[in-house]
A and B are shown apart, each in its own frame.
Chain A
Amino acid sequence: MRNGSMHSAALELEGISKRYGSTWAIRALDLTVAPGEFVTLLGPSGCGKTTTLSVIAGFLEPDGGRMLLNGAPLVGLPPFKRDIGVVFQDYALFPHMTVAENVGYGLRVRKVPAAEIERRVGEMLELVQLEGLGGRMPLALSGGQRQRVALARALVFDPKFLLLDEPLSNLDLKLREEMRLEIVRLQRQLSVPTIFVTHDQTEALAMSDRIAVLDAGRIEQIGTPREIYEEPANRFVAEFIGSMNLLDGTVVAAAGADGLCTVKLGDDRTIGARAKGNFAVGHRVCVAARPERCGVVPTDRRVENGASLLNAVVSHIVYLGSRQEIHLTLPGGTTVVSEIVGNVDWDIRTGMDVTFHCDPAECVALSAMPGPVTDPVTDNEPAPGTEAI
């Protein structure tokens, strides 16, 4: 809509840092959001997500860095001049104003004529499916309805950008799933560039165009949900998103043309994996494999060619209805999990010797060090899924 203009980016953050006392809340943060794009900041609590939003909204002045909104610098501009809509975790609805007054507030302070306020508030309430509730007080609304009012209020003045600070965390599961779709629908319809903050990976995967995974004030990886899930850039991302089997080992054969390297685990067994980095023989790495991509078979059954095979003992089985988790212990004590949809077609029991197998193409070898691989350039590039295979 109004973000089109000549700039290819709606929002550009360059080297943004913010310090509280001597601790860095965010450190040299680079982030670009394209017009109409929905970007999620995902990370554990205290990783700097909300601080980033506060800096963008103008409540905190960054200690360094550049911020451009549609090409115009933001630093130094007070919050009320930024035209950035914000939805807060607790919604922060004005308790002394009606729903319509809440939604119309941004227009009222912009001195929009009353008749136009009424029209635009009406349209907005219709858009968030709250028509007819304009006269209610916020306290008389359900959690989901308050959420919709907060969205309407942040969108009605046609903001240049939208910030959503964990807006779903106060809703119960069912409502949360409904509101996910609702928010994405609205964002698409209005095509307003958005940063969404959450610690919930499912939300991030389900809603985002791109996800930025944050830890300790730094971006660990930026990419599409698929890239983040399939091609974690490092151990932190691998562990934080979804569940992951992690096996420490040493490279015994560097990656060839197929991009696959061979890793020796603690015992003499080896496992193949796509190398995420230039690992030479002798490098310590960590092999990550998703439980749903790993299988378990009886020791006497054969597995398709090319799969890595490991001996294991069934330690326990968790029945989850639609799927089952088979927890296994490898020689040396490492625990791995295989997730199987539906029922297992053979008689599997606790204590049984079995074969754990996974396709090397589904496994990635990451630097064993926790944290980023020290190469910040990879941050802004799509994860190199193609070059590895």
Chain B
Amino acid sequence: MWRIDSQRSGAAIAVSWYLVAVPALFLLIFFVVPNALLLSASVFKSEHQVLTSQLTAENFVLVLSKPHYLRAIARTFVVGASVGLLVALISLPISYFLVRTTSRFKGLLIAISLAPLLASVVVRTYGWYVILDRFGFVNDVLVGLEMIQDRIAFIPSTGGIVLGLTHALLPYGILTNIAALSSINPNLETASKSLGANRIQTFVHVLLPLVMPGLIASFLLAFSISISAYATPAILGGYASQTIATLIYTFIMQVLDWSLGAALGTVLIGSTLVILVLSFRFGGRKVRL
């Protein structure tokens, strides 16, 4: 390709600033400012949705002193870790299949595996309600087979949240793992076998190390989306199984205590930033478009 150097000149820098100025300003005002405000709101006292200028740590103290809130925070991270693990593990075999298959329906199969992304989480969680409810499909089957006497309330529960989120986030895991697996030369596995390694040795010594960044990336991606998910915990968790996201909603929209909401929001942003740093470090994620 021919090199064109006028794109680095002073005039070109001016052109590029003109290009990006308006959209960048838009994002500064409506993305950076709100998030900054949220972070600062967490360390100021507020009365009746009005911030005072009084600096305080009491929002965090309050959040961390009530067992109900602490349990919600702990539950959020347990759910996040479980969902991350399940998504990474379940998406690996199907991704491997989708990358290596020679089926002429390959494109269609990939499309179907990603299609759930077209549906809102609300839609995807509704089906689980019908299946898991006390008077739902699974209970009907179990009772019909006389395997249980009394109907079981599978939901609302923390397990329900994990199931619903795993289901909702699986396509992200598949996308991430397909990307990781596509870059692995299939002949490496053949070569390993020709050198005398059996399938398990091949998997452990060749495939696993190469796909590890993809696995870690899908774990962290699912983790970070899980901890700030609202709809699934709200539908399948209920009041007894609150998470940070549902607590925030309660504080902001129902109790109207914005400072506590902001403190919990800060916890979410902070955790997400930590996860991001980890995924840049270990998941092969890059700051690129």
Contacts and interface: CB of A to CB of B under 8 A. Distances in A.
Whether A and B touch directly in their complex, counting CB atoms under 8 A apart, is answered as yes
Interface in B3-19: 3-6, 9
B5 A51 contact: no
Interface of A: 20, 50-51, 53-54, 59-61, 88, 165
Interface of B: 2-6, 9
Nearest to A25: B3
Closest 10 interchain pairs by CB? A59-B4, A60-B5, A54-B2, A59-B2, A54-B3, A60-B3, A61-B5, A50-B2, A59-B3, A60-B4
A259 B4 CA distance: 49
A88 B5 contact: no
Nearest to A51: B3
Given A53-B2, A59-B2, 15 more contacts: A20-B3, A50-B2, A54-B2, A54-B3, A54-B4, A59-B3, A59-B4, A59-B5, A59-B6, A60-B3, A60-B4, A60-B5, A61-B5, A61-B6, A61-B9
Nearest to B5: A60
7 contacts: A53-B2, A54-B4, A59-B4, A59-B5, A60-B5, A61-B6, A61-B9
B2 A88 contact: yes
Contacts of A165: 2
Nearest to B9: A61
Nearest to A61: B5
Interface of A, helix, strand, loop or mixed by DSSP: mixed
Contacts of A51: 3
Nearest to A20: B3
A51 B3 CA distance: 8
Contacts of A20: 3
Contacts of B2: 50, 53-54, 59, 88, 165
A224 to B, nearest CB: 29
A244 B3 CA distance: 35
B11 to A, nearest CB: 11
Contacts of A59: 2-6
A337 B2 CA distance: 40
B233 to A, nearest CB: 49
B12 to A, nearest CB: 12
Most interface-central of A20, A59, A88 (chain B CB within 10 A)? A59
A262 B205 CA distance: 66
A340 to B, nearest CB: 44
Contacts of B4: 54, 59-60
Nearest to A60: B5
A260 B230 CA distance: 93
